[in-house]
Amino acid sequence: MRIGLIGCGTVGSSLVALLRDEGDLLADRLGEPIEIARIAVRDPERPREGWIDRSLLTGSWREVVSDPAIELVVELMGDVPEAIDAIRSALAGGKSVVSANKAVLSRHLSELEELAGRAERDIFFEAAVAGGVPLIRALRVSLFGERLSRIVGIVNGTTNFILTRMQEDEVEFEEALSSARKLGYAEADPTSDLDGSDAAAKAAIMASLAFGRKVTAADVRRTGIEGVSAGDFLFAKRNGWTIKLLAVAEHFGAAPDSPLNVEVFPALVPSSHPLAGVRDSFNAVFVEGNAVGELMFFGPGAGGMPTASAVLGDVIEAAHNLRTATRARVVIQEQAHFLTADAILARFSISMEVLDEPGVLARVSEVFGGFGISIARMEQLEVEDGVARLVFLTHRTALDSLERASLELEKLDVVVRLHRSFRVFT
């Protein structure tokens, strides 16, 4: 089986190493060897790992997708504009495709599944969510008969590393981010990790597969972890919680087209919940179904070798399908409907710095009352220089009411600073 590689960076070069090291085993399992016929990169002149055969390199991805001897294309170039064109061209040219590209898949999954169906080829993307953790195939195949109600994942290793350091070392956000950078867990520009967009792309892919409806990254409501403070962790710890950035996809109602809610937000997670114990850069996805109950998938969400392992599994399945003239099931999805913010109900914590003087609580309570928000509890974290930091815990309330109340609270002259709010995960 001759395959073509587009992209030979962290994941691509690990895949080449795996194919070299495990070649005999793979040939035995597949019944024929897997041979890399061509490798497209941006700059073929750049120095490469010693195990990359430089005679295979080209600077043009078109050479890979147009090579008639190549039956299967592995796209590992990342979120560059050419990636979608390369995948479309490969499928249109009758090649099966394996990709790890969450950015592209979260925007074009439905279209690419359709293209693959029409070409009678496969598109596989196990590595696009949670790296080495075999979640996609579980959702696509093993759990296909399940009525899934909710998927909750920690799917971004960078933010989980930062939040773990804040919790365990009791440091502020900036210090935790700087350790993540030093240890290589955060990229030079970590924006897409910190603002929740990387997790949102993965949430869209998980939701599409779990609920059989079209969900793209743009449909995902998201809040990142910027602004989370050591004080938030102090409050969380005192109340038996920790803070995790969660990617949540929920299905409301029994009918297949009933509404979904797909969101990314930092949440207060009970310390006793299995997701609370997911530390550092690990990923985990908690799945709830009607017959199977609760499942948790856990493991390395990134890294060259774990991700290449997921890619290789896809390569073998796609190669097997090509040899046996079969292909994976494709479900053409209809557009999903989503809950609006006034229908998203949760308990929230909302924290603020206020002037430490009489009458302040009454003014704050009046705002909450005006939006029908009922307060379950209030805690005072600290008082410094005449300013008190308060945390309010609400009863179940609509997200929309909380957002509108926050805007009003910010306008009060007694509120010095409104901190971010957190969803309580239940």
Chain contacts with ligand NAP (rule: CB under 6 A): 6-12, 40-43, 46, 61, 76-78, 80, 82, 100-102, 127, 131, 302-303, 307
Residue 61 vs 392, nearer CB to ligand NAP? 61
Structure tokens at 177: 């981010």
Q: How far apart are alpha carbons 266 and 196 in whole angstroms?
A: 9
Residue 77 vs 123, nearer CB to ligand NAP? 77
Residue 134 vs 289, nearer CB to ligand NAP? 134
CB within 8 Å of 85: residues ≥ 6 apart: none
Q: How far apart are alpha carbons 71 and 396 in whole angstroms?
A: 54
CB of 19 to ligand NAP, least distance (A): 15
Residue 56 vs 243, nearer CB to ligand NAP? 56
Task: Verify whether residue 214 is a known catalytic residue.
Answer: no
Residue 80 vs 360, nearer CB to ligand NAP? 80
CB within 8 Å of 304: residues ≥ 6 apart: 10, 11, 13, 14
CB within 8 Å of 142: residues ≥ 6 apart: none
Helix (H, G, I), strand (E, B) or coil at 299: strand
CB of 374 to ligand NAP, least distance (A): 43
Helix (H, G, I), strand (E, B) or coil at 30: helix
Q: How far apart are alpha carbons 11 and 283 in whole angstroms?
A: 17
Q: How far apart are alpha carbons 135 and 130 in whole angstroms?
A: 7
In angstroms, how far is CA 55 from the centroid of its own chain? Answer: 36
CA angle 29, 32, 36 (to 5 degrees): 110
Catalytic residue among 95, 102, 202, 244: 202
CB of 243 to ligand NAP, least distance (A): 24
CB of 257 to ligand NAP, least distance (A): 31
CB of 173 to ligand NAP, least distance (A): 23
Residue 310 vs 339, nearer CB to ligand NAP? 310
Closest residue to ligand NAP, judged by C-beta, is: 9
Q: Which residues of 194-213 are buried (b: 16+ CB within 10 A; e: fewer)?
A: bbbbbbbbbbbbbbbbbbbb
CB of 169 to ligand NAP, least distance (A): 24
**Do the beta carbons of residue 331 and residue 373 sit within 8 Å?**
no
Which residues have a catalytic role annotated?
202
